Amino acid sequence: MNRQEGQSTSDRPVLEVMNLTMDFGGIRALDGFCLRLRQGEIAALIGPNGAGKTTFFNCLTGMYLPTRGELQLFRPDGATRRLNGLRPDKITEQGLARTFQNIRLFPRMTVLENVMIGRHCRTRAGVLGAILRGPAARREEKDTVRISSRILEKIGLAGQLNEFAGNLPYGAQRRLEIARALATEPLILLLDEPAAGMNPQETRELDELICRLRDEGLTILLIEHDMKLVMSLSDHIFVMDYGRKIAEGTPAEVRRNPEVIKAYLGEEESFGPA
């Protein structure tokens, strides 16, 4: 479901990563990695296990402090924000939201409550306002419920608002994580192996959801090992090996790249049908 030949996303960048390097003692997990995301595209980051993909996400979202390099976010208002050194919550406020390889929901909270937590970075009441429950805090809470419910309707969980998150089927839990990320009003949605553990039907539903989000103008960067999903979804693909970018391009270009075939998959057939 990637864009047809001849169609393209805007050339306006929304994120630029320059010379990103991450050392853990004597181990170099990222080695001068560069990446440029365009507004409104679906991009995939692929590579063998241990290539540095999740390390890159952790640097981008403030969980790790890179050894060196530049992370720049270009906001719709024309402002440029340097992300280096910001706390994870401040990076979320700037417009980056992510999901994780392992589901990180609050299982004994409801579906609605899990999404409402994602709204925290966009609310102003604070702890005191929540305790005193003045008019402004009550209005904000009502808005949070309304916005969270609308997001759940968009991803197909409107009928399960009051279910405990831990009682949902696996695929629905994955979608709920995406809903919580969407509640932060991101400019860029980072998905870390969103299809991991999903059955074919759940994967098809995920494919459709990601494409709908892209069509609404959201920029999406995903790490994924399901090559059929990557090739069907992506407008652009970045390929990593040993912490370095070894190739990038359209799905067709990456599929034909001999270095990618050798370093990542070993054989062209692993990409699935052309």
Q: pLDDT tens digit string along 138-179?
A: 788 899 999 999 999 999 999 999 999 999 999 999 999 999
Give the residue with greater pLDDT, 128 vs 35: 35
Mean pLDDT of 215-240: 94
pLDDT digits (tens, 9 = 90+) for 88-126: 999 999 999 999 988 899 999 999 999 999 998 877 765
pLDDT above 80 for 58: yes
pLDDT score of 120: 86
In terms of C-beta density within 10 A (0-12 exposed, 13-18 middle, 19 or more buried), how is residue 154 classed?
middle
How long, in residues, is the chain?
Answer: 274
pLDDT digits (tens, 9 = 90+) for 248-262: 999 999 988 988 887
pLDDT above 70 for 8: no
Tokens coding 59: 């640097």
pLDDT above 70 for 194: yes
Between CA 53 and CA 242 the distance in angstroms is 10
Contact 179, 107 (CB under 8 A): no
Predicted TM-score (pTM) of this structure: 0.88
Between CA 239 and CA 233 the distance in angstroms is 15
